[in-house]
Amino acid sequence: MFGVLNTTPDSFSDGGRFVDPERAIAHGLELVRQGADVVDVGGESTRPGAEPVPPEEELRRVVPVVRGLVEAGAAVSIDTRRGVVAEAALDAGARTVNDVDGGRDPELLRVAAASGADLVLMHSRGPAASSGGYGDVVADVAVDLRRRVDAALAAGVAPERVVLDPGIGFSKTAAENWSLLAAIEALRVDDLRMLVGVSRKRFLGELVPGAPETRDGVTAVLSALLAERGVWGLRVHDPASTRAALEVAQRMRVAA
């Protein structure tokens, strides 16, 4: 399970809460105590309409936090779309590159290949893309993921290091998100691992109106259902509730 740690002032769920490195590190360690296996550190908001952040600012936000978490014994992933940020975070001790732009930066692919780190390739049309407009969203996303995998392998990333993310909530309508989740098995490429993040996403607000934090319950239920269907990793803001939901599902399997 990946615990989300945003060091940004403008993320949709917790923007501004963890811009101070010490506070961010403390929260990251709390995510681990709640059940996160990996702390996913991001320094650039990916919410719709967010302004791009200069690389220098992204580095300033994330590198001290990555280093502090690693020194405290946490496994860390860097959530970025830039090779220069990925390289600095890996040098600081991160083990995984979570590429929110699907490897469109050739430098990021080079860094991932040279480091031997795990590489998450998330489906996205880019930060300026609008939602919707797919012909068949499941088929289109599957084709796009295949292309991103091919690009990563061509750059020298070992196949066993590649993880796929269908990019739920990124340039997709609520109906398209549900279609992708319902057909999650159809998005597999070469039996690679899959990471899915539905946590607190806007489309869940149709079920639970209110602040993003009120969506943790439905996030936990949906995450557990995805795990039952073979999803390898879950990206969540509240590991405790999702960990409990996974335990419920496990006990049901054992009792059956």
| Interacting residues of 212 by C-beta distance below 8 A, sequence separation 6+ | 12, 13, 14, 200, 205, 237
Single-letter amino acid, residue 191: D
- Single out the catalytic residue among 172, 201, 215, 243: 201
Cα-to-chain-centroid distance, residue 229? 18
C-alpha angle with apex 11: 180 to 17, nearest 5 degrees?
135
C-alpha angle with apex 157: 234 to 179, nearest 5 degrees?
35
| Rg (the chain; Cα; Å) | 17
Q: Is 172 designated active site?
A: no
Q: Is 235 designated active site?
A: yes
- Single out the catalytic residue among 82, 172, 235, 243: 235
Instruction: Tally DSSP H helices, then E strands, for the chain.
Output: 8, 8
Q: Name residue, tokens 């830039």.
A: 82
**Residues designated as active site:** 201, 235
